[in-house]
Amino acid sequence: MARRLESRALTYVAIEGPLSSGKTALATRLARKLEGRLILDRASENPFLGDFYRDPGRYAFKTQLFFTLSRYMQQETIAQRDLFHPLVISDYLFVKDRIYASLTLDDRELALYEKLAGLMEGEISRPDLVIYLQCDAATLGRRLRERSGDRSNRISDEYLVAVVEAYNYYFLHFEETPLLILQAEDIDLILDERVVNDLLEKLGEPHSGIRFWNPMARPGGDG
Q: How far apart are CA 181 and CA 212, in angstroms?
A: 5
Q: How far apart are CA 89 and CA 32, in angstroms?
A: 10
* 80 CB-near residues (< 8 Å, 6+ apart): none
Rounded (5°) CA angle 37-89-177? 140
Question: Domain ranges in the chain?
Answer: 12-213
pLDDT at position 222 over 70: no
Which pLDDT value is given to residue 220?
45
Q: Is 14 exposed, middle or buried (0-12, 13-18, 19+ CB in 10 A)?
A: buried
- Condensed to tens digits (0 to 9), the pLDDT of residues 9-21 reads 788 999 999 988 9
Which pLDDT value is given to residue 7?
34
CATH tag for 12-213 (out of 3.50.50.60, 3.40.50.300, 3.30.70.20, 1.10.3720.10) = 3.40.50.300
pLDDT at position 115 over 90: yes
- Condensed to tens digits (0 to 9), the pLDDT of residues 152-189 reads 457 788 989 999 999 999 999 999 999 999 998 877 77
Nearest C-alpha neighbor of 76 from the set 24, 40, 120, 118: 120
